[in-house]
A and B are shown apart, each in its own frame.
Chain A
Amino acid sequence: ILNVEQSPQSLHVQEGDSTNFTCSFPSSNFYALHWYRWETAKSPEALFVMTLNGDEKKKGRISATLNTKEGYSYLYIKGSQPEDSATYLCALYSGGGADGLTFGKGTHLIIQP
């Protein structure tokens, strides 16, 4: 069983502040790393799919980095806005015939006005 850990479990951030959180995974099982945003009563929505060590991706105020050798990825949100409030999920694809993704429990982010 693969272990994908996310920290912190929840986070309260003031509007306008920047924040970041972590996803850790077993580096020996790495093939791809996904980040999703899941707002209440909506579908999880993909943010990034990352495959290369040192990769850095950006979408608006959100960016992510990847270190496959040490088995972690960071998600950064710059200048948090209320609409950023959601649960952020990371998921590992280990390849080798695996069909699905192994998800972490998520970081629940609340932006306080």
Chain B
Amino acid sequence: SAVISQKPSRDICQRGTSLTIQCQVDSQVTMMFWYRQQPGQSLTLIATANQGSEATYESGFVIDKFPISRPNLTFSTLTVSNMSPEDSSIYLCSVAVVGVGTGELFFGEGSRLTVL
């Protein structure tokens, strides 16, 4: 299993600013995932963050908007850049401890962002 600490838990941000979300895992994991849930929508994968390589972004998400760092096997950050009200969402980091897909994901508690 894995225990994930994510912060901030919530924030209210002004349009045009950027915010960095931090994710700390209590064990070393290869793959970390960043998800977003917009109001009324499903959890959507933003990117996969592997240590030592560039993050892999899903269609519709770009590095300039959501830069990700993965400096080691227990930590990652996601920055939401130049925020607009459409970025108001819950952002979740997650890890797969045993395989991808056939093993369960472990999640942080989420960062609820409101952009005014």
Interface residues of A (CB under 8 A from B): 4, 31-32, 34, 36, 41-46, 49, 51, 89, 91, 93, 95, 98-106
Given contacts A103-B42, A104-B42, A105-B42, contact A43 B58 (CB under 8 A): no
Counting chain B CB atoms within 10 Å of each CB, the highest count among A44, A45, A49, A103 belongs to: A44
Contact B41 A105 (CB under 8 A): yes
Instruction: Give the residues in chain B near A89, CB-CB below 8 Å.
Output: 42-43
Q: A99-B45, A100-B33, A105-B42 are in contact. Are A32 and B102 (CB under 8 A)?
A: yes
Shortest A72–chain B CB gap in Å is 17
Assess whether A105 is in contact with B40, with CB atoms less than 8 Å apart: yes
Q: Which residues in A have their C-beta under 8 angstroms from that of B92?
A: 43-44
Contact A44–B42 (Cβ < 8 Å)? no
By Cβ-Cβ distance, the 7 closest A-B pairs, closest first, are A93-B101, A46-B104, A100-B45, A103-B43, A99-B48, A43-B107, A103-B42
**Is there an interface contact between B105 and A31, defined as CB atoms closer than 8 Å?**
no
Instruction: State in angstroms the CA–CA spacing of A4 and B35 once bound together.
Output: 16
CB contact between A43 and one of B48, B56, B103, B110 (< 8 Å): that residue: B110
Q: Which residues of B contact A103 (CB under 8 A)?
A: 35, 42-44
**Does more than half of chain A's interface fall in helix, strand or loop, or is it mixed?**
loop
Nearest-CB distance from A90 to chain B (Å)? 10
Chain A residues lying within 8 Å of B106, measured Cβ to Cβ, are 43, 46
Q: How far is the CB of A27 from chain B (nearest CB, A)?
A: 16
Chain A residue numbers with a CB within 8 Å of B48 are 99-100
**Closest chain A residue to B102 by CB distance?**
A32
Pair A101/B104 contact, Cβ less than 8 Å:
no
Q: Does B31 contact A (CB under 8 A)?
A: yes
CB of B3, distance to nearest CB on chain A (Å): 9
CB distance from B53 to the nearest CB of A (A): 13
From B90, which residue of chain A is reached at the shortest CB distance?
Answer: A38
In angstroms, Cα B104 to Cα A46, docked, is: 6
Complex contact B44–A44 (CB within 8 A):
no
